[in-house]
Amino acid sequence: MSLLAQLNDALSDVIGGAQKSVVQIRDGRAGQGAGTIWHADGLIVTNAHVAHRSPLEVVLPDGRTISASVIARDDERDLAALAVEANGLPTIQPGDSRRLHAGQWVMAVGHPWGILNAVTGGIVIGVGKQMPDLRVFTQDWVVADLHLRPGNSGGPMIDTGGRLIGVNTLMTGPSVGAAVAVDVVKDFLKRAFNGASVRIETQNRPQWV
Catalytic residues: 49, 78, 153
CA 78/CA 14 separation, integer angstroms: 27
**Per-residue DSSP letters for 96-129?**
-GGG--TT-EEEEEE-GGG-TTEEEEEEEEEEES
Task: Examine residue 206 and say whether the peptide bond preceding it is cis (omega within 30 degrees of 0).
Answer: no
Which amino acid, 132? P
How remote is the C-alpha of 99 from its chain's centroid? 18
Amino acid letter, 103:
G
Alpha helices (runs of H) in the chain, residue ranges in sequence order? 3-19, 182-193
